[in-house]
A and B are shown apart, each in its own frame.
Chain A
Amino acid sequence: MKIVHFSEIVKAVKTMCIEANYYLPEDIYDALKQSERLEESPIGKDILKDICINADIAKEDHIPICQDTGTAVFFVKLGQEVYIEGGLLEEAINEGVRQGYEEGHLRKSIVENPLYRKNTGDNTPAIIHYEIIAGENLEILIAPKGGGSENMSKVYMLTPSQGIEGVKKAVLEAVSFAGPNACLPVVVGIGIGGNFEKCALLAKKALTRDIESSNEDMRMAQLEKELLKEINNLGIGPQGLGGTTTALAVHIETYPCHIASMPLAINMGCHVNRHKQVRL
């Protein structure tokens, strides 16, 4: 058994909140650089260049890449052999968010009741997804999520007869609908299967994968490739102003599902597709 103290978690989460919002992951940065070289539209090329300069400025000045420093979304893997001392895990994560968003000068974007909209003032509560795993590690991944791209995400309750073509049609429709609003170029996170809530979670998780990665199932990897090509053929381009770079990547995650169902979720990840992971 391993003991992890409450204060260690608070400290790690605080640092993650700040670093995730200041420093764009290298894989995303490299993908943006490459798309800048390949983009056919002159306006699109300039936009991609500025997006890279923006990430450089944020890194150098230690300031948020985007003013929307997001909902603090966490994926937590808790080893069964871990004992957390000094308080509740959820409270430790929220305290880390509170401290990180304050000390890092990050924007507080969470309102209490969605209909009455009073800001909570400290960006809590976080949205936390837990997974119990074997062993004695506590792994915490933060993926701050901006509102612009999140608003353009969709769930489709497809039925089995719609098949691969149905999935493709829905994804292209969702990307077209998201269009200029989602801060293009995007990473498209897709969840297929599970049920209503599971597919949405898969789509969100898909956004945290390394940008160069492919699904382990060759058939899904092929579908990722085809969708990326078809999305970029739409011509929507950087910021929606026309061009050949609409998406940087398409990531699909799947899960078994009911004989009657084929749920599909599409989570748009803007070009500031931030995430950061630590292991305690």
Chain B
Amino acid sequence: MEYETEAHTFMLGAGLKPMAKLSFNLTGSYTKGTGNISELSFAHLETSDVKLSYNVSALNPNQIYLYDTAYINGISAYSNADFKELDVTLGVAYRLTKQMGIGLNYYYTDYQDDAPYVYRDESNTLQSLVGYLTYSF
């Protein structure tokens, strides 16, 4: 059995201060993460036990035996983790006076769950605005 996880993270940022009173900032990050289990190779085990070897193919062609160790190979299909997350922040700050300033930030987060499993689909998009007034002394 092999368990593999992989993650790529890209980040970008920029800050600009065109004048003493004014500044801008832009940041962004993008993450893609995956995980999976593979190389499971269980074979069917014949036993003399009536339950373990009970043939149910007449009821379900996709499931010949009631219990079959080979069914465990299905873990490869439903063990995948696969998500993408994009975060962006855009901000501006302005100094009104020597002691007072204002600012506004915008936040964007987009999380895409491409392989929902035990926690179901956790995809989400969130946006918010933060405004503030600062007084220094």
Partners in one complex: no
